[in-house]
Amino acid sequence: MFKSFFPPPSGKIALNPSILSADFSCLKRSLKNALKADWLHVDIMDGHFVDNLSFGPHILRCVKKITSKPVDVHLMVENPVKFVVPFAKAGADLITVHVESKEPSKSIKLIKELNVKAGITLRPQTHAKKIFPFLEIVNLVLVMSVNPGFGGQEFIASSLEKIRLVRKEINRLGKKIWIQVDGGITPKNVAKLVDAGADCLVMGNSFFNSRKQKEIIAMFRNLRAHFI
C-alpha cells in the first residue's frame, strides 16, 4: 500500500494518527475519522527500551482488517530483530527501528528482505548525525520530538533544528526520504515543522481528543512542503 508514497510525492504532507491514543473500548468507532488520514501509526513498546508497554501484532492485525490504508510500526524496543517478522506478518507496511537499539542495521536488512519499507529513528538526546549512515538504505527518518514511551508530552523545541539538519543531509544526498515527526504535535506547531523540512506528522492525543478531527484532516490536505 505504500508504493504510491515512495518516494514521497512532491509537496505532499502526510497526517499519521497514532492509534496509541485511540479509545480501545470501541476501536473501530474511535478510528472512524483517523482512517481518512494518509496512514496510521502504531507504537510498539517492550517495557525495556522504554518504561511503558503497548501491544503486540494482534492489534495490528485487527487494524488491518478495518482499513486498506498503510500502517507504519514504530518499534520502541531493545532488540528489534525479534519483533520485525511478527509485525511484518501482521501486515506492517513500514517498520521503524531506533538507532540506539540493538543491531539496527541487521533489523533494517531483515525488514527489507521481507519486502517492507524501513525507517530509522532517534531519541531527542541523540545527535542527528547518528542516523546519517542509514540514509542510503531507509525510506523514512522519524525525528522524535518528545522522549519515547508515553503520549501527551510537550513538543521539544530543539527538534526543529534536528529536522533541518536531517532535511539538509537528505537533500545533499539527493534522496527522496520521508521525514516523519512524532511528539507534541498540534495544529499550532504544524506550520513550523513543515517549514523545517518535515513532510509526515504523527498526531496522537491532539487528534483523538479533538472534536475537530475532520478539520485537522482538511488542514493537512491544504498544506504544501516548504523544505529548506
Q: Using one digit for the tens of pLDDT, what is the confidence trace for 78-134?
A: 999 999 999 999 999 999 999 999 999 999 999 999 999 999 999 999 999 999 999
How far out from the chain centre does Cα 209 lie? Answer: 19
Q: Is the pLDDT at 198 greater than 70, yes or no? A: yes
* Mean pLDDT of all residues belonging to the chain: 93
Is residue 98 within 8 A of residue 121, CB to CB? The reply is yes
CA dihedral over 10, 96, 208, 148, signed as positive or negative:
negative
Query: What are the distances in angstroms from CA 197 to CA 4, 65, 161, 193, 225?
Result: 20, 33, 10, 7, 7
Given this model, what pLDDT does residue 30 score?
94
Whole-number pLDDT of residue 148: 82
Q: Which residue has the cell 512524532?
A: 182
The mean pLDDT value for 43-66 works out to 93
CA distance 137 to 134: 6
**pTM for the structure as a whole:** 0.96
Instruction: For residues 162 and 174, give the distance between their C-alpha atoms in angstroms, rounded to a whole number.
Output: 18
If you compute the radius of gyration of the chain from its CA atoms, what whole number of angstroms results?
16
DSSP letter assigned to residue 77: -
The C-alpha atoms of residue 62 and residue 26 are separated, in whole angstroms, by 12
Task: Note the helical H segments in 9-142.
Answer: 27-30, 57-65, 81-90, 104-113
Assigned fold of 3-222? TIM Barrel (3.20.20)
228: Cα within 13 Å, side-chain hemisphere: 17
Question: How far from 222 is each of 26, 32, 120, 164, 215, CA to CA, in Å?
Answer: 30, 21, 28, 22, 11
**Per-residue model confidence (pLDDT) at position 228:** 58
Burial status of residue 193 (CB atoms within 10 A of its CB: 0-12, 13-18, 19 or more): buried
Active site residues: 43, 182
pLDDT more than 70, % of the chain = 98
- For residue 151, pLDDT over 80 is answered with no
Amino acid at 128: A
What pLDDT, on the 0 to 100 scale, is given for residue 224?
83
Each residue's pLDDT tens digit, 53-63:
899 999 999 99
Cβ atoms 98, 119 nearer than 8 A: no
